[in-house]
Amino acid sequence: MYLAAGFAKLARVSGTDHFDDSTVCRLDTQRKLVEPCSIVIFGASGDLTARKLIPALYHLFKDKQLPTAFRIIGFARREKTDESFRAELRAALDQFSRTQPVAAAVWSEFAAHLVYCQGDLNDPAAYQKLEQRLTAFNDPALRHNLLFYLAISPSQFGVAVEQLHRAGLLPRHPTTGWQRIVVEKPFGHDLASAHTLNSELTQYADENQVFRIDHYLGKETVQNILMFRFSNSIFERLWNRESVDHIQITVSEKHAVGGRGGYYEEAGAMRDMVQNHMLQVLALVAMEPPVSLEAESIRDEKVKLLKSIRPLSADDVARQVVRGQYFAGVVDGQSQPGYRQEPKVNPNSNVETYVALKLFIDNWRWSGVPFYLRTGKTLPLGASEVRIQFRPTPNVLFAAACGAKLDPNALTLRLQPDEGISMRFNGKIPGTQVGVRPVRMHFSYDSEFGAYTPEAYERLLLEAMAGDATLFIRRDEVETAWTIVDSIRKGWEGKPLTNREFYAAGTWGPVAAEDLLAHSGHVWRDPQPIK
């Protein structure tokens, strides 16, 4: 069940519209209960465990969302005791918890559920030891309901899954309880490697036991895209080629590649952001209504949409895709070295830290509507948004008088930060003179619901425990997304970056990205700081 969060329905009381708690429509009732279980984290000494997984589990515990009986087992190579493992995680929580200070009493209760199991991923004996620890909990649910979180390098997924299977911890057709694996991106580096990885996983686990994470799907605002589209009647009828001129999806980041140069040299913006997060957002924005809110219905529609993206030939890539790389500049008043000067980066690197694309979706709804996607590092503002740019009015009356100055209507879904939705339309400037200018109608999550911003991982871990795959990526989705990305990367082969593809850190990207839109008479609408 996709949309568990409640939302308020407009109630009419005594002639005034107001929001009344009794009218909240909750969909959680259809949600599967989270049964008692053990969560085994492979790569328990790593960054992801400390930064994301433990803070998320701690908050779920604090909010009483975890089952009454549960254990978290850290599995890694380093020697540690349960106590030293807990102490490390406690220190990490002080640094990374979204709520501070960490509540000492809650922590000590939570920490009692944390244990450590030392072992080498390649060593069958380590899995026997893991099995013994699970059995020693003396509770069939904790022994058999198992969530294996693979916070390890993708090159180790295969061996971990094979060993779990051989140790009897991951039967392909479970007879007692449930066993699932959660895997993190990067999920392959092209279609062929993703295919191999998928085959390795599904040799020992069934597809429905595999939960592939894209943390963007755990974000409230990304989940709200479907709710906004399909729980209202006024927007969806405009959501097509008749009314929409084009759509812009921007994921701009202020920060640089920094310490991740080694990884980034292999990835680049296309694999790091477009293959996963951006195509997922695009799919949710553009897909057809699913036949139900069940996971497979939603995932079917996303795949269908991804398959409708018009394939790009090498010539199309030259025309429709722009790469960029930052050189030294100033971001937020701080000087920022160029990408080629970052640690572990080849000083002649051609890896893109920015990418802008113009895509077409060849289906009935979107035929002829350009979708512009862009993402980059060291841009002036860290903000993600989807902008639906509507067609201009007919060229009579105000349009005839104002020409290009009459702003077309736009709807902006602000994904982060300052989460909200804005509608832009034209209004009369008050006064005796006649003037028109755009005005904005704005919904802000903060002012409507208060500053409740659970981390994406909280939601995703809970869904994985509940066995709901809606917010996870299915095998065919990953592979279809790679087909798109591969065709673009192929178009870049043997073509180094040109001068027009470099941009100074702290600017909105290369000049070539402006040209991409200018050819169709469009301009990028940069996200604005709100406040």
Q: How far is the CB of 214 from ligand BG6 (least distance, A)?
A: 8
Backbone angles phi, psi at 13, to 5 degrees: -125, 130
Near ligand BG6 in 173-192, by CB under 6 A: none
Nearer to ligand BG6, 162 or 253 (CB): 253
Site string for ligand BG6, 415-454 (x = CB under 6 A): ----------------------------------------
- Given a contact cutoff of 8 angstroms between Cβ atoms, the answer to whether 380 and 508 are in contact is yes
Distance linking the first and last C-alpha atoms of the chain: 35
| Among the listed residues 142, 140, 121, 36, the one whose alpha carbon sits nearest the alpha carbon of residue 78 | 121
Nearer to ligand BG6, 127 or 326 (CB): 326
Joined tokens for residue 219: 């974000």
Nearer to ligand BG6, 322 or 456 (CB): 456
Nearer to ligand BG6, 118 or 453 (CB): 453
Residues 240 and 499: their CA atoms lie apart, in Å, by: 37
3-state secondary structure of 402: helix
Q: How far is the CB of 519 from ligand BG6 (least distance, A)?
A: 29
Q: Angle at the Cα of 22 (from 18 to 23), degrees rounded to 5? A: 60
Nearer to ligand BG6, 255 or 405 (CB): 255
Q: Which residue has the tokens 């512009």?
A: 372
Residue 385 β-bridge partners = 250, 414
Nearer to ligand BG6, 272 or 479 (CB): 272
Count of residues near ligand BG6 by CB under 6 A:
2
Q: Under the criterion CB under 6 A, does residue 463 sit at the interface with ligand BG6?
A: no
Residue/partner pairs of 272-275 with CB below 8 Å, 24 or more apart:
272/186, 273/355, 273/375, 274/355, 274/357, 274/373, 274/375, 274/485, 275/481, 275/482, 275/484, 275/485
Q: How far is the CB of 255 from ligand BG6 (least distance, A)?
A: 7
Q: Angle at the Cα of 464 (from 118 to 177), degrees rounded to 5? A: 75
Q: What DSSP designation does 94 have?
A: H
Q: How far is the CB of 139 from ligand BG6 (least distance, A)?
A: 36
Nearer to ligand BG6, 117 or 257 (CB): 257
Which residues lie below 8 Å from residue 500, measured CB to CB, with a gap of 6+? 510, 511, 512, 515
DSSP secondary structure string for all residues of 243-284 = TEEEEEEEEE--S--GGGHHHHHHHHHIIIIIIIIIHHHHHH
Q: Under the criterion CB under 6 A, does residue 479 sit at the interface with ligand BG6?
A: no
Q: How far is the CB of 277 from ligand BG6 (least distance, A)?
A: 6
Nearer to ligand BG6, 69 or 530 (CB): 530
Q: Under the criterion CB under 6 A, does residue 352 sit at the interface with ligand BG6?
A: no
What positions carry a catalytic annotation?
A: 277
Nearer to ligand BG6, 244 or 251 (CB): 251
Backbone angles phi, psi at 367, to 5 degrees: -50, 125
Residues 485 and 500: their CA atoms lie apart, in Å, by: 22
- The tally of CA atoms less than 13 A away on the side-chain side of residue 25 is 6
Residues 274 and 271: their CA atoms lie apart, in Å, by: 6
Q: How far is the CB of 346 from ligand BG6 (least distance, A)?
A: 18
| Among the listed residues 420, 340, 322, the one whose alpha carbon sits nearest the alpha carbon of residue 378 | 340
Residues 41 and 76: their CA atoms lie apart, in Å, by: 8
Q: How far is the CB of 187 from ligand BG6 (least distance, A)?
A: 11
3-state secondary structure of 463: helix
Q: How far is the CB of 163 from ligand BG6 (least distance, A)?
A: 27
Nearer to ligand BG6, 363 or 453 (CB): 453
In the bound state, the residue with its beta carbon closest to ligand BG6 is 272
The correct pick among 253, 300, 486, 501 for binding ligand BG6 (CB under 6 A) is 253
Q: Under the criterion CB under 6 A, does residue 272 sit at the interface with ligand BG6?
A: yes
Q: What DSSP designation does 50 have?
A: I
Q: How far is the CB of 491 from ligand BG6 (least distance, A)?
A: 23
Joined tokens for residue 204: 């020992």
Determine if the peptide bond prior to 186 is cis (ω within 30°). Answer: yes
Q: How far is the CB of 486 from ligand BG6 (least distance, A)?
A: 19
Residues 500 and 516: their CA atoms lie apart, in Å, by: 12
Contact residues toward ligand BG6 (CB under 6 A) are: 253, 272
